[in-house]
Amino acid sequence: MNYRLLKQDINLKPFMTMPPQFNRKTIVMRTDKVYKCEIINIVELTGLEKLFHLKILDPVEREIFSFRPGQFIMLEVPGFGEVPISVSSSSNNREFIELCIRKSGRTTNMLHRAKKGAKVGIRGPFGTSFPMEEMAGNNVLLIAGGLGLAPLRAPLYWVIERRDEYRDVAVLYGTKEPEQMLFTYQYEEWEKVNHVKLLTIVEKADKDWKGRTGLITELFEEINIDPDNTYVIVCGPPVMFKFVCNHLDSLGIPMNRMFVSLERRMHCGMGKCCRCMVGSTFTCVDGPVFDYWSVLNLQEAI
Amino acid sequence: MKYLGIETEKVRIGVFDFTGCEGCELQLANKEGTLVSFLDLLEVVNFREISSERGDNYDVALVEGAISRDNEIERLKQIREKAKVLVAIGSCACFGGVNYLKNRFSMENVVNEVYGEHKVETRRVQSIGEVVKVDLEIPGCPVSKEEVERIVVDLVTGADIKFPKYPVCIECRQKLNTCVFDLGKICLGPITRAGCGAVCPSSKVGCLGCRGPAEDANYDSFRQIALDHGFTAPRIEEKLKFFNALGAALQK
Amino acid sequence: MKVDMNINVHHLTRVEGHGDIHIKVKKGELVESRWAVVETPRFFEAMLRGISHDMAPVLTSRICGICSISHTLTSLRAVEKAMRIEVPETARLLRLLAKHGETLQSHILHLLFLAAPDFFGTGSVIPLIKSRPEVVVLALRLKGLGNDICDLIAGRTTHPVSLVVGGVSKAPSREQLETLKETIGERIQDIRAVVGLFQTLSMPDFVRETEFVSLKGSNRYPWIGGELVSTDGVVKAEDDYLAMTNEYKEDFTTSKFAKLSRESFAVGALARFNNNYNFLHEKAKEAARIFGLTPVNHNPFMNNIAQIVECYHVMLESIDIIDRVLEDGCPESICAGYEVKAGEAIGAVEAPRGILYHHYDIDENGIITKADCVIPTTQNNANIHHDLAELVKQQIMLGKSDEDVTRLSEMLVRAYDPCISCSVH
Amino acid sequence: MIYKVITKSEFKKFINGLIKENQTFGPRQVDEDINGKPIYQFREVHSFDEMDLDYTVTYSSVKNFFLPFREILSRYTFQGDDWEQSLEYRVNPRVIVGLRPCDINGLAILDKIFIKGAFPSPYYLARRNNTFLIGMDHEPLEDCFCESLNHHVVRHGFNLFCSDLGDRYYLSIDSSKAFNFLKNVETTEPTKKDNEKFIARKNFIERSFKTRVEVTGLPSFLDIEFKSPIWKKWGDKCLNCGTCAMVCPTCYCYGIEESIDVSLKTSRKERFQYSCNIVDFAEVAGGHNFRPLREDRLKYRFYHHYRGFAENAEEPICVGCNRCGRACLAGINPRDVINDLRLESKDELPAT
């Protein structure tokens, strides 16, 4: 007779040897395994932000990876850390993903020094997404402040690629200063080719700025909003979306048709570490996309 | 290492000491298991305690000790001019350290006590930061080699340098130590910045706060707790002021 | 014959602290030779005033970054003598073990990191990593062992934490001690290799007769407490240290000087060896004989060799100490309780660089009212100073160049393994 | 569940058998506090006699056997401008003896989060699957309040559970492994009398609780009291030192950090146990802190513990062991804080 405990090795289970599929949340996977990517292009947007094009190297992993607008990935820079970044590209693009990244911390500072051809890792996608199908047949209003345009780019691509399915599409975009405007090289295409109404505004103009000056809510005066047929997505700092959503509420748009993307510190992306908790809710699993009604019901969200 | 397309370069360092015991410098030669790799990250341009090489072309100056003489101020200013990054290492450099205990008395009194009739020049002790601009402070009496290694790796790779903001208690509990207060001794762990691996409480000796205050340290509550445990106010103050690391924060 | 010479070494390298060498020779005559300590005084005696007795060991350990365990133990001895505290035997043994760890790491640091580059013609140990890797490996392993001993017993090597008034605050476990003993056993071959290495190097041939002062062993090689003795036959009680040190002040140096029967005396490994040869472990004596080192030896460069002999000795003695602690069964409580009382006492301990004294007056509240510390390097300074003059005179006679004299003078000072910040505590 | 009865001498034989073959941990006295009270921790043991099975309570919980305070999640090896990732979930089997019902219930709560929730953790699972747990009942201490949370009894989550019947143990066997191991020693089927004694013992323990915390309706109550001034009162005392979270059997909030080794050849990605009480827990990269005040952070821990989060079906995750209360230097404990909140809300009610 024996008292020896035999080692139970979970490595031997078949799903532990396959590439992890992050859209299946309930099986034990190698959730810390990253998909290795190559930075195939770097676009300098502003002094602080760069757009990175990442191509997943392994063809099987590239095949598995798909995301919905609003979802984020965890971007791993081996040795320096991992950060949550919302995907800025079209979900139809299966060749590479685009990430717009601001330099603000250990990991992103390193990333900004990286050269084309460098290899980084991603895990994901994680989190909830915008209800794009539900919005079909309606007007779509996208409102962004500052870096908030980055997560709005994915739903915008979605709408543009299915332009017939949506009615009026408008983007309201405001920043503090003109030089902080992101993706300016695309504005003309959005307006002329894709029939998107684009209004921009800055809080503080410089000598070259010829557009509007003021707060983002001033843009509301320039568009007609039909409260019964409009879906809104708002991205930006909490003060901004609180202000904007209250205004939309006064126009009669139901709160469950306004969507925001919350930003919190995340360490795991998988509903474990609790760093991203808002009240009793995980931003990473139950968010980052919430309708405004849910946000109002979260303790300490705004 | 040529990672992310970034070529890493050795850090050219100079190591300098002022009023102190040189124990922190000595830590640089410790942790023998990784010492060869550690030295490989550096180009030692000037390090009097272990090397006869004396150059001026250093990027990073590690400065140990406090300032307590006029000629030290001059030497420090020269180093500041040459160094791109000036790092204060150890509690003496960061806060004045135990040397600050001298400042309780008049300098005349101090000189008389030790040298009698012989006049020796000395001045009130100052930390490095009180004399020149300091770019980075690595606290500890002595500094922890693990932390120094981590920081040097960050310097070489060009990554942002981070220190723990939490107090020693976390590290102490993680070692499954018995709380030093439960053993009937006073411990500054709850208000002191972690990063030392709770070395003192792990030996059942109270923390003396050599690493300076943890972020948002709750002094009022701590004082009350120490009084409630039966320690007298002078005894508590003696501990709080020992390295001048918390003392500096208390005065602010 | 070389006529004029002007040597100024500002901030001598590869020693602890700041010291300068000045030599001036005119027309073949030595005009001036000086060993000047320019280290900043820290006034520890003043700092100690008004400090609680149990903080004195913590404070004084900060006198030195290399021999902080010695300072702690000296301070503890003074406090415990003043308050008549009986330290449990196991705690005594563990303290001695920590002491041996310090001696080993300090001696190895000096021999292989600081002094060895002189013999291999490099500026520091760093080039040796590539050119003489076998030497560096020895250095790292033995110094690592010394540090491991200190870390285990004292909590850490620099500024120990678990050596407290009454005993030791935390005892190592049986398993830890058994592992340590095994490791020391394995490293004996490394110290043999160091002996082998130094056999290939030649110590400069220089003799200047002097007096050697150390603790006096009664039944074993002395480290902590006991009578004071000199090779000139002086024997004094521990409490009578002032009559042994006779400190005085010279203008050109911030450190004090000291003398006994002659113009200067020496302390340190060679002094301990000269006074206590009989108590050395047989194997250590054997190592000494290989180098022709016998008592009383008057070549200061042989202090290096005496250090090797002591390393051998402390490693072997450490194994004996661990055996005794294990026999005692690792008792739980190794820290005596005590009542605070007034008192005055002197503690004397053999630090790696020589005999160290702390003298405290403590009031009835346990507060230090007066303190005096006499550091080994302070006692050696005058001897270094006079050796320097003699060495330069001999070198001029041999017609040596400036470079040679400079190099040899530096080596001479290093041979004393001075701890300068200590000496200007 | 299968029940058996074993004499204490046979039990000792059984445990020594396990110790001989497996790495084993059990309650050991590690210190004595200033008042002469023994302090226990789960430590490695090499024989039955090293354990103190009549111990009161361990200072820290067993949590760190499953969620180590620091754990490597993956390693990267660098070569040129490329790297390779490696992951490892292998752990050696071990035995832990002497867990109290609240300890086991704490693990059951962690199971919900780390195995049954979204993205089950392979690291936790490997440790859980490879640990053989032997539980033991005990008489509650003055300040235990596990009964208030219904965690004084345990129904699953262990391999073997022992109820003390004086000279014998009444064994609840919840795994085939335990059942097979017990074939090595002599056990008997429980008699009717054994069953009666077993029930009497349970009732006796239940009656012995001296501390009660009213937890009915606590989740919604905490939502309502989110802005209560009581939090400032306790927040002012709080040292934000994280001690409570470290000793707690269920606090699992963590952080992840990466570091490159001195050789620059490899790096580690590590998970480290953290606490929502710590100043930078909710700080984001730009420097903004979502919980800047001590009271915000203290409140948050209570909110998590007694309201529960979505991952855990919004149930309290506290098991009532009061380790946090005992360890807190500032004297903050769940009973007093919750009572304070309840009293305060009573005061606010209009007089009827």
Domain boundaries, chain D: 2-66+81-207, 218-348
Pair A235, A152: CB distance under 8 Å: yes
Is the Cβ pair D81, A31 closer than 8 Å? Answer: no
**Are chains A and C in touch, 3+ Cβ pairs below 8 Å?**
no
- Smallest CA–CA distance, residue C133 to chain B, in Å, is 10
Comma-separated ranges of CATH 3.40.50.80 domains in chain A: 132-296
Name the residue with tokens 């107090």.
B167
Q: Which residue of B has its CA nearest to A119?
A: B4
pLDDT value of position D191: 93
pLDDT value of position D350: 53
Chain A residues with CB inside 8 Å of D74's CB?
Answer: 32-33
Chain D residues with CB inside 8 Å of B11's CB?
Answer: none
Number of B to C CB contacts under 8 A, please give it: 157
**Mean residue pLDDT across chain B:** 91
The letter for the amino acid at C64 is C
- Smallest CA–CA distance, residue D78 to chain B, in Å, is 8
Chain B residues with CB inside 8 Å of A54's CB?
Answer: none
Is the Cβ pair B6, A116 closer than 8 Å? Answer: no
Chain CA centroid to CA D42, Å: 12
pLDDT value of position D352: 47
pLDDT value of position A302: 63
pLDDT value of position D347: 60
Q: How far apart are CA D159 and CA B125, in angstroms?
A: 63
- Smallest CA–CA distance, residue B7 to chain D, in Å, is 9
Chain A residues with CB inside 8 Å of D255's CB?
Answer: 267, 273, 275
Q: How far apart are CA B22 and CA C13, in angstroms?
A: 13
pLDDT value of position C83: 96
- Smallest CA–CA distance, residue A112 to chain B, in Å, is 10
- A13-125 is a CATH 2.40.30.10 domain: yes
DSSP code per residue over D201-246:
HHHHHHHT-------TTHHHHHHHGGG-THHHHHHHH-----HHHH
Q: How far apart are CA C318 and CA B23, in angstroms?
A: 25
Comma-separated ranges of CATH 2.40.30.10 domains in chain A: 13-125
Chain A residues with CB inside 8 Å of B157's CB?
Answer: 79-80, 110
Q: Is D142 in CB contact (< 8 Å) with chain B? A: no
Element (H, E) at A243: helix A238-251
| Structural domains for chain B | 2-157 (3.40.50.700), 168-250 (no CATH)
- A132-296 is a CATH 3.40.50.80 domain: yes
Q: Answer whether residue C1 shows pLDDT above 60.
A: no
Q: Is D121 in CB contact (< 8 Å) with chain A? A: yes
pLDDT digits (tens, 9 = 90+) for C315-345: 999 999 999 999 887 666 689 999 999 999 9
Q: Answer whether residue B252 shows pLDDT above 50.
A: no
Is the Cβ pair B160, A113 closer than 8 Å? Answer: no
Q: How confident is the model at residue B227 (pLDDT cuts 50, 70, 90)?
A: very high
Q: Answer whether residue C425 shows pLDDT above 60.
A: yes
Query: Given B4, B159, B160, which is nearest A115 (Cβ)?
Result: B4
Q: Which residue of B has its CA nearest to A81?
A: B159
Mutant choice from A113, A147, A277 vs D, greatest count of D C-beta within 10 A: A277
Pair A3, D21: CB distance under 8 Å: yes
Which range scores top for mean pLDDT: C11-15, C163-167, D284-288, D338-342?
C163-167
Residue in C147, C152, C156, C61 with CA at minimum distance from that of residue C104: C147
Residues 6+ apart with CB under 8 A from A130: A68, A69, A70, A155, A233, A259, A289
Is the Cβ pair A3, D74 closer than 8 Å? Answer: no
Query: Given C46, C154, C156, which is nearest B102 (Cβ)?
Result: C46
| Contacts of A212-220 spanning 24+ positions with Cβ under 8 A | A215/A174, A215/A243, A216/A143, A216/A145, A216/A172, A216/A173, A216/A174, A216/A240, A216/A244, A217/A243, A217/A244, A217/A247, A219/A172, A219/A174, A220/A172, A220/A247, A220/A251
Q: How far apart are CA A196 and CA A159, in angstroms?
A: 10
pLDDT value of position A17: 84
Q: How far apart are CA D328 and CA D244, in angstroms?
A: 6
Q: Which residue of A has its CA nearest to B154?
A: A80
Query: Given B51, B120, B208, which is nearest C124 (Cβ)?
Result: B51
Chain CA centroid to CA A31, Å: 21
| Structural domains for chain C | 44-422 (1.10.645.10)
Give the predicted TM-score (pTM) of the model. 0.92
Pair A79, D268: CB distance under 8 Å: no
Chains adjacent to B (≥3 CB pairs closer than 8 angstroms) = A, C, D
Beta carbons within 10 angstroms of residue A214's beta carbon: 12
Q: Are strands D131-136 and D160-164 parallel, antiparallel or unpaired?
A: parallel
Chain B residues with CB inside 8 Å of C68's CB?
Answer: 21, 23
Q: Which residue of A has its CA nearest to B158?
A: A110
| Contacts of D202-205 spanning 24+ positions with Cβ under 8 A | D202/D137, D202/D153, D202/D163, D204/D139, D205/D137, D205/D138, D205/D139, D205/D140, D205/D152
Q: How far apart are CA C225 and CA C77, in angstroms?
A: 8
Q: Write down the ipTM of this complex.
A: 0.90
Residue in D241, D246, D238 with CA at minimum distance from that of residue D295: D238
Is the Cβ pair B52, C14 closer than 8 Å? Answer: yes
The tokens for C217 are: 């062993």
Pair A233, A143: CB distance under 8 Å: yes
Q: Is B47 in CB contact (< 8 Å) with chain D? A: no
Cis-peptide, bond into residue C296, ω within 30° of zero: yes
The tokens for A260 are: 């925001």
pLDDT digits (tens, 9 = 90+) for B91-139: 999 999 999 999 998 888 888 877 777 777 888 999 999 999 999 999 9
pLDDT digits (tens, 9 = 90+) for A78-135: 999 999 999 999 999 999 999 999 998 899 999 999 999 999 999 989 999 999 999 9
Is the Cβ pair C59, B26 closer than 8 Å? Answer: no
pLDDT value of position B112: 83
pLDDT digits (tens, 9 = 90+) for C201-242: 989 999 999 999 999 988 899 999 999 999 999 999 999 999
Q: How confident is the model at residue C12 (pLDDT cuts 50, 70, 90)?
A: confident
Q: Is D66 in CB contact (< 8 Å) with chain A? A: no
